[in-house]
Amino acid sequence: MRYLKGYSLLLMASLAACSKSSDTTTLVGNWMKRSQYEGVARSSAASFVIDNKAYVGTGYDGTERLQDFWVYDVDLNQWTQITSFPGVARNGAVGMAMAGKGYVGTGYDGLNKLNDFYEYDPVAKTWTKKANFKGTARYGAVAFALNDKGFITTGYDGNWLKDNWKFDPTAPDATAWTQVESMNSGKRTDASAFVIGNKAYVCMGTANAANVTDFYSFDGTTWTTLNPIANVNDDSFDDDYNFAGSSAAAFSMKGKGYIVSGIKGGYSAAVWEYTPGTDRWVQKTDFEGAARSGAVGFSLKDRGFVGLGASSSLSLDDLWEFDPNAEYNKND
């Protein structure tokens, strides 16, 4: 029985020790409502992908334009705040990556349309100002990189645009930007672009309060007209094409392009998949998150992601992974 007494004292001591150590961890904690957890929420952010990490920054939180920049690790589902964007806070900027560096420029600061342009070095973790974008200052453009050259096209400078500018990251500032062939027609802003096999595909967008249905690919030199995203052909393949809209998220994965959510009259949750070989679109399972505008879309390691954005005046912080071939499971 002496053994029992000793045991109970030992038990009390160890329990006391446990409760003490857990006290020290809870001291640095806070409680918050899950519903009030906002995170890096924003719409119309700029993003680019380098080394299987997604960089997301600037944008609009519903009240203010933003300068902060974050890197997201999809494997760990973790965010790290990186060096702040050095230009003025803005939304509607474009982002792209080439030759291991990220580029962000143009956009809107609330008063002015912008044409400044910056490079991010993910190793040194620094931003460097580059030559200003040579087209007119604008927001709502799209950007993409082909063969380590960057392109900025479409957007809004007071008018809807279809001009196209090439950026060479290795050229001196004076010759870094050159105007190249414009999209055949289809001026627009808030369009979507994705790259598959060294061709960029530009679709969606609005001009003059109408959704643009013209759809083009660009190989770095020449634009090619593709079937419009509207029911215009006598054949039946486009009878269901009803997704023309703006401010949608876009990404490409495993040789196909995806357009997710955006505005089509109201907010749309529709997801459409494009196959370049056949120039055909197929509707997929609707986006499971809240339908939204100004979301970011990116793919890495053959996985597609869509998130952030805004629904009405509420900015969102959730990120969703899309598996185009999975059966819908509302409990996942």
32 part of the interface to other proteins, by CB under 8 A: yes
For other proteins, the binding residue among 45, 54, 56, 66 (CB under 8 A) is 66
Q: Which residue number, 17 or 232, has a Cβ lying nearer to other proteins?
A: 17
31 part of the interface to other proteins, by CB under 8 A: yes
Longest dimension (CA), the chain: 95
How far CA 93 is from CA of 18, 58, 164, 281, in Å, comes to 51, 8, 16, 28
13 part of the interface to other proteins, by CB under 8 A: no
Backbone angles phi, psi at 327, to 5 degrees: -70, 145
CB of 10 to other proteins, least distance (A): 11
328 part of the interface to other proteins, by CB under 8 A: no
17 part of the interface to other proteins, by CB under 8 A: no
In the stretch 199-238, what mask flags binding to other proteins with x, by CB under 8 A? ----------------------------------------
- Report the alpha-carbon distance of residue 64 to residue 133 in Å, rounded: 24
Which tokens is 146 given? 């082909």
- Report the alpha-carbon distance of residue 322 to residue 285 in Å, rounded: 10
- Report the alpha-carbon distance of residue 307 to residue 259 in Å, rounded: 13
DSSP 327: P
In the stretch 68-107, what mask flags binding to other proteins with x, by CB under 8 A? x-x--x--xxxxxxxxx-----------------------
Half-sphere exposure of 26 (CA within 13 A, CB side): 7
41 part of the interface to other proteins, by CB under 8 A: yes
Which tokens is 165 given? 């500018």
Which tokens is 218 given? 């660009």
35 part of the interface to other proteins, by CB under 8 A: yes
Contacts to other proteins by CB under 8 A: 1, 4-5, 8, 11-12, 15, 18-19, 22, 25-26, 28-42, 61, 66-68, 70, 73, 76-84, 124-127
